[in-house]
Structure formats: C-alpha cells, structure tokens
Structure 1
C-alpha cells in the first residue's frame, strides 16, 4: 500500500479550477519528484496535501488515513512537514525560537538540525530577518524537521538561491534520504539534482498528472515534452 496516495484530485480557487485530476503515489521512505512547467499545479497539489486548499473531488490518504476533512494543524500532526515556497520564517524571532516554535517530540531536535546545518547553530540568537536567503531556507527546512514528520514536502526549496547554497540544500536532502526513513515529496526544476535523490517522478500539466514512473525513466524525450520551455 502507498504511504501517500492521491487519486483524481480536483481543486478550485474560488470559481477557477486549478487541479483537474492529480494522481500520485509515494511509498514509505521514498523520494518523489513533483515536476512540471510553471503554473501547472505543483504548489496547488502541495497545498491540497497539507490541507491549505480543499479538494472538491478525488481521494487523499496518508498511511491509510483519509486527510480530506482534516484542518491543516491536524494534517501536520498526522505526519506532514512543509518547507513552503518563499521560506516564510518568523522574521522577529531568533533562529532558535523559529526552530522550537513548532517542535514536536522525536529524534529531530536543535542538536540534530544543527548537525545538518551548522550555520544555524552559529546564528542561534540572531533574528531570522538578519539571515541571508540561503540561511533562511536552511531555517525553514530545519523548522519542518523539528515537527518530526513522516513525510517532508519541499516546495521549490532551492529557488533563487546561490549555486553554493543550492548544493548545501541538496546535500541535506541526500542525507535525509540515506540516514532516515522519511518520505520526501520534492518540487524542483533541477533534473540533474533530482536524478541523484528521487526514486519516482510525477509530472503535471495543466493541473493533471500526465506522466509518472521511476526517475530513471525520465528521458530527454520526456523532459523535452513536458518540462521544456
């Protein structure tokens, strides 16, 4: 049985339909790349999973549990950890305060997050507003880990970052895959990096799943057809 399973998901923003039939299956401990051109429904799918956007049709289950009628905070308690697009740190709180704000019991604590991102330990008492964009992204990822999720969702976690910082984020993702049993759903545009970490790939076009399969089968033909400009 799939750990996360979406079938025929449809969703709207007011009168405007955003998702027309999203299917996605992710096994426990697997990494799935959620891909597609801009505006094709990736972030909307993430919002549906996290219950930030209601779906009007289809089914959504996490480890067999129906998430359809859960509010976002209960979905989080069910095991979802979100690294949102745009980072969204609490600017007036310190690094440490940001990390403990949503902390839940489990193996991920300040010490373990600091081991993953030593810079956060160095800046423990600085306000989040004083951090660089890359450091804020590390903080956002660390904050999600402090909730001790079973499924971590990363929405464009390397978008707009300097190349050296992007490599630090990808190195952290690879560590999460190799050192934990956590499932990951990763929205990103970098095929080269995703090939190194993802087991599966789901591609969306106009709010619909148009391709899914092993990451190794995302050939140049598939990429040109669904991901090219």
Structure 2
C-alpha cells in the first residue's frame, strides 16, 4: 500500500501551516520527516490521520482517498498514529489499553508483548504508573493492534533517557525492516537515519528536499540549512 500526499495545504483556525506538501511512501519502506519546531511536522501527521481536515490537496492509501475523512474512517483504512507525548490513559491498565485497541489480524497481544517484553511485566499497571519509555512502548503496541498498513510516529524518542530512546528506535527499526510502512517524524537526524530508507526535510511547511538515508549519512551538512544543527 503506497501512501501518497499531494499538494496538501493545512493548518489551524485561520492560519496555514502546510503549503503544498507532497510525499510518497511505497509499501514496506520507511520515510522520516525531519524539521525544526514549527516546521509543520505534527500538522502533517495530524492531517494524514484525519485529525485536521486539509484545505486543499490529496491524501490516498493505494488509491483510496482519505483527505477530509474523519479520523475513525482513516484509522479503519489502515493508518495508525503513535502521537507525540504518548497520550496513554492514566486510569487504564496496560492490559486494558491492549484489549481496547485489539482488532483481528496478524498483530495479536502475544505478538506485541514478544516485541515489547517490558509491557508483559506491566500488564496490571495503570498508565500513570508507567515510565516515559514504557508509555511509549504501550503507545506503539496500541497502534500495532489496530492492524495498520501505515504507522505514523510523531517524535517517539522525545523526552526519553538515552537507553530508552535507543530501545524505542530499535523497535521502530525492527518494524520497518519487517515490512511495515512507516512515516517517522523527528527533529534529530541520528534518530531518523537509524530507521529510514529516505528522509524528507521540512521547512516552513514545505518539503525543502528529499534524500536517501545513505546520502545524509555520507554528507550530514545537507540537513544544516534546514535544521540549523551542527554536523556531527
């Protein structure tokens, strides 16, 4: 299933944040969208998953038009979001989160627990009793249980300690290698390059350029003018 975003304009209230964004993510590949705060990254994923209605443009999954559909219809079509900040329910246990998210398909509760074994130890813990890393793993598990064709991840390593961020990155990379189509939003190039096949640089609500991950690894300065970060 190819996710296609064509000439999308979107924003909040009277303001426009995205100005003609275009992306294509072929089945089984991982695309990272890199950009500074305010570049429009979260607006992009919220527009794709139906939380924001685009003002113009086309969003389609293997030819099925999604632009303007409500979020629950987009989810049923196969788009799942791991939101920025995790957003797990404080009063629900891990087991309850998984039960509520589960739909019939290849992703089962035992399978996500095998991928994310820490959750097995926390099944009886409520959302407000989890660490940041555990909550992020729960957010990923919850998304996988909806049987997505495309997984959107909005800065999944934000606010996590280095070891936990490494674990989350490893999980996302494993999912991408396993053939799941992934759109990863990031600010940190090293996080994106650990996962992505291709990287789109977003600036001021527009795609400034697109590169293979190999190109950016070979020449990190390609990101400097967009991200204003020092090369490492």
TM range (shorter): over 0.9
* Kept after mapping to 1: 8 A contact 2:34/2:189: no
1:15 positional shift:
0.8
Report the Cα offset of residue 193 of structure 1.
Answer: 3.2
Instruction: Give the structure 1 partner of residue 144 of structure 2.
Output: 145
Partner secondary structure for residue 142 of structure 2: helix
Asked whether 1:76 is paired with 2:75, we answer yes
Q: Who is 1:199 aligned against?
A: 197
Residue correspondence of structure 1 range 82-101 to structure 2 within 5 A: 82-101=81-100
TM-score calculated relative to the size of structure 2: 0.94
Structure 2 residue ranges without an equivalent (≥5): none
Q: Report the aligned-residue RMSD.
A: 1.2
Aligned residues of 2:79 and 2:148 also touching (Cα < 8 A)? yes
Taking the TM superposition and a 5 Å limit, the aligned residue runs for 1:12-23 are 12-23=11-22
Matches within 5 A, 1:29-108: 29-108=28-107
| TM-score, scaled to structure 1 | 0.95
Give the Å deviation of 1:224. 1.0
- Greater than 4 Å deviation, 4+ residue runs: none
For structure 1, the residue ranges without an aligned partner over 5 or more in a row are none
- Are the aligned partners of 2:11 and 2:43 in contact in 1 as well (CA < 8 Å)? no
**Match of residue 223 from structure 2:** 223
Map Cα deviations across residues 73-124 of structure 1 (whole Å, 9 max, x no partner).
0100100111000100011010011112121111111111111111101111
